[in-house]
Amino acid sequence: MRATIYLIRHAESLANKASATIGQPDGEPLSAEGKIQAKKLNDILKKINKPGKYIKIFSSPTRRALDTAKIALDGIDPGFKNIKILEDLTEMRHGEWTNKSRDIYKNAEVQENIRRYPADFKAPGGESKKMVEERMDRTLRKLAESHVTELQSAEEDTEEIILVFTHGVAIKCFLAGITGCSHADSHLIPIDNTSITKVVFEEYKWKIIFQNNADHLK
């Protein structure tokens, strides 16, 4: 038995457009372009939602992730009753630096600490990349193992499909962990708004099927 997980980055938010501050408030809304992106994502998800596939839906609690999910799931999850919110799917937490100017990163001491400790550096009260990697792996592994167990007890041979609406850095850190990529380079992993990354959990191991697919935006 295996679990198939589609990791979906939220659509463009207003803060994504500005990109002048660190992190985003949880209540940050989608931009007009972001809403268009989410509607285009809907067509792809309808193709994934085929008879015989057992689908579960999970989302980060942030507004931008939930709004993406609701637009993208129109016609798939009536009333959005099946979206389960998980706090551990949220974006990297930046603590005291949230919504502060990115000029903080120009500080020589900050730059040196990031260079020396790329996996463990964190803002005051925030998370390091390693912490996000471990949080995401633990959360996704728990979801996969739980649903594989459910399928093993089912009478019909069906495939588990899990949709996860989450965030760019969160996905990058998770992928860095399962591929062995250094966190000094994990920021280079491309994860576009509303892109889909498909991973499979089987025999207690992760396998990437495809990454950063955003063909629906072309």
Q: Which residue has the higher pLDDT, 21 or 79?
A: 21
The string of pLDDT tens digits covering residues 87-109 is 999 999 999 999 889 999 999 99
Average pLDDT, the chain: 91
Q: Is the pLDDT of residue 72 over 80?
A: yes
| pLDDT top residue among 203 and 92 | 92
Kindly tell me if the per-residue pLDDT of 157 is higher than 60: no
How many domains does one find in the chain?
Answer: 1
Name which residue leads in pLDDT, 120 or 26: 120
Q: How confident is the model at residue 159 (pLDDT cuts 50, 70, 90)?
A: low
152: confidence class by pLDDT, cuts 50, 70, 90: low
- CATH code of the domain containing 105: 3.40.50.1240
- Write b or e for each residue in 125-156: b if 16 or more Cβ atoms lie within 10 A of its Cβ, otherwise e: ebbbbbbbbebbeebbeebbeebbeebeeeee
Higher per-residue confidence, 36 vs 147 = 36
User: How far apart, in whole angstroms, are the C-alpha atoms of residue 71 and residue 140?
Assistant: 23
Residue of 92 and 77 predicted with greater confidence: 92
Residue 76: predicted pLDDT: 83
Q: Is the pLDDT of residue 183 over 80?
A: yes
Residue 160's domain comprises: 2-217
